[in-house]
Amino acid sequence: MKLLSSKQFQAWDAYTIRHEPISSIELMERAALLCIETITKEFSIEQPIKVFCAKGNNGGDGLAIARLLIGRGYDVTVYILEQGKIGSNDFQSNLHRLHSFTTEIHFIQLPETFPIIQESDLLIDALYGTGLNAALQDLPKALVEFMNLSAAQIIAIDIPSGLFVDQSSKGNTIIKAHTTLSFQALKLCFLAAENAEYFGKVVLLNIQLHPDFLNTIETNYTLLEKGEVKQLVKTRSDFSHKGTFGHALLMAGNVGKMGAAILSARAAMRSGLGMLTVSIPANTDIEIHAAIPEAMVLNREESLIDFEKFSTIGIGPGLGIDQVSEIVLENVIAHFKKPILLDADAITILSKHPEWLSTLSADSILTPHPKEFDRLFGESKNEFERWDKAVQISKQYQLIILVKGHHTLIAAKGKAWFNSTGNVGLAKAGSGDSLSGIITALLAQGYASTVAAILGVFLHGLAADLALANQSTESLLASDTIECIGKAFKDLAEFENG
């Protein structure tokens, strides 16, 4: 799913109006009808509703919603933010229609005219939509702050007022909605953790914007969908052997951190890998053999490693950041010339030696969480800046950069994809280790680095979602996710586009 900019959403409306064809007021009515179907299912007819509108097209949506709710017997009062300007054409048309249904239309010109809000009220925020490009000030800001102070539930129409679609809104005054009824497609702003307190539950309403428009535009950001990810999985021949599916070297674990190596190794073997060697500290081999007998081991402090026999290397989970670990990483970067995966402690070491970045093999994969990313590439003021930086760095260094989070970002060659699988149960130690194992296994099998990263992140999240059949988000362990990797592969294989 392409993630559109604010201007592209407006262009999509205009394209639909021209090519369906449909008038803008009819398109607004279509959107309003879908909104009230959702509202009337969730809220009883006895609940008082207060609809807040500014004078743009988002306000026009609000007026149409108010009229349709009144027509169904709901107790609706409308409040219009009055700042001395005439409304948009569709706003004015809907205001004219509304006058035939109610006299409960009030204009807000000063804070003194803000209405009394009861806890039992339902507030509908139809002040500002996707076209907003400046932080709220003065009366609009005061009204939003006033609404947020109430104990009433708030439903935002399309997007909470004050929230930008495609740039950071950090520090701005924004409606804190309990539910957002958003039109047609997910907005980029809904993927940012810094915005989570504002949009609540997002309900996507298909207002049937013309699908051909998406073929006319390019976007830097895409939301991964199961149908397209399914196409990335390779078919395995019955005549394959273990050498067909690669031999990975996993350099992980240290004193007190062998669990990271074990989780990563188990995830790798569950992800289709042919052979795995785990490079570990002295006297820890018994832990690997006991936990995952399918893996071989090397003592990374003493063994001379023949890098040529490995398809790829995954390095970092539980590695440690001591001098020995630094030497190990430096040696890998200097002598292994195929794409590798760097995670956790390897990224921390790399942040101390940023000059190594330019010597990494092209198409290597880095999997930092936000703090690790900032240590390596410099502080980011907000998530949007971090995402943009990841995209630019992926192009500058020919690397694949993951920024881990609820919707993990995968940046490659100036483009980026957001993951759509996973749940809060992954917010637990060991999750990153298992993800590293999955991606390392896919790299070893010959998947292109970008594909390995996309498929690995998606499968990891999907496995965690499937694991909730037997666990809760509180109880979910990285081990549970690993045990469901097979189910995730099957789920992808059996998926049919609806």
Res 498: pLDDT: 58
**Do residues 144 and 88 both lie within one domain?**
yes
Q: What is the pLDDT of residues 281-324, one digit of tens each?
A: 988 999 999 999 999 999 987 767 899 999 999 999 999 999 99
Q: What is the pLDDT of residues 394-405, one digit of tens each?
A: 999 999 999 999
Residue 497: pLDDT band with limits 50, 70, 90: confident
Residue span of the structural domain in which 339 resides: 226-494
**Do residues 443 and 477 both lie within one domain?**
yes
**Do residues 154 and 257 both lie within one domain?**
no
Q: Does residue 1 lie within any of the structural domains?
A: no
Write the CATH number for 272: 3.40.1190.20
**Do residues 358 and 236 both lie within one domain?**
yes
| Token pair for 387 | 């995402």
**Do residues 89 and 212 both lie within one domain?**
yes
**Do residues 299 and 383 both lie within one domain?**
yes
What are the phi and psi torsion angles at 134 (to 5°)?
-145, 150
Q: What is the pLDDT of residues 321-375, one digit of tens each?
A: 999 999 999 999 999 999 999 999 999 999 999 999 999 999 999 999 999 999 9
Q: What is the pLDDT of residues 230-249, one digit of tens each?
A: 999 999 999 999 999 999 99
Pairwise CA distance, residues 245 & 273, whole Å? 5
Q: Return the closest-CA partner of residue 440 out of 359, 365, 347.
A: 365
Pairwise CA distance, residues 436 & 369, whole Å? 12
Residue 56 contacts residue 161 (beta carbons within 8 Å): no
Mean pLDDT within 70-92: 96
**Do residues 397 and 254 both lie within one domain?**
yes
Residue finishing a domain among 202, 218, 234: 218
**Do residues 119 and 237 both lie within one domain?**
no
**Do residues 22 and 152 both lie within one domain?**
yes
Determine what percent of the chain is predicted with pLDDT higher than 70.
100
Which H/E stretch holds residue 380?
none
Pairwise CA distance, residues 222 & 415, whole Å? 8
Q: What is the pLDDT of residues 190-205, one digit of tens each?
A: 999 999 999 999 999 9
Total domain count for the chain? 2
**Residue 259 CB-half CA count within 13 A:** 9
Res 301: pLDDT: 79
Res 221: pLDDT: 97
Res 393: pLDDT: 97
Residue 376 contacts residue 347 (beta carbons within 8 Å): yes
Pairwise CA distance, residues 199 & 195, whole Å? 7
pLDDT for 45 beyond 80: yes
**Do residues 273 and 365 both lie within one domain?**
yes
**Do residues 235 and 207 both lie within one domain?**
no
Res 224: pLDDT: 98
pLDDT for 181 beyond 90: yes
Residue finishing a domain among 218, 236, 263: 218
Average of per-residue pLDDT values in the chain: 97
Pairwise CA distance, residues 302 & 294, whole Å? 22
Residue 166 contacts residue 388 (beta carbons within 8 Å): no
The predicted model scores a pTM of 0.95
Bond preceding residue 111 cis, omega within 30 of 0: no
**Do residues 403 and 285 both lie within one domain?**
yes
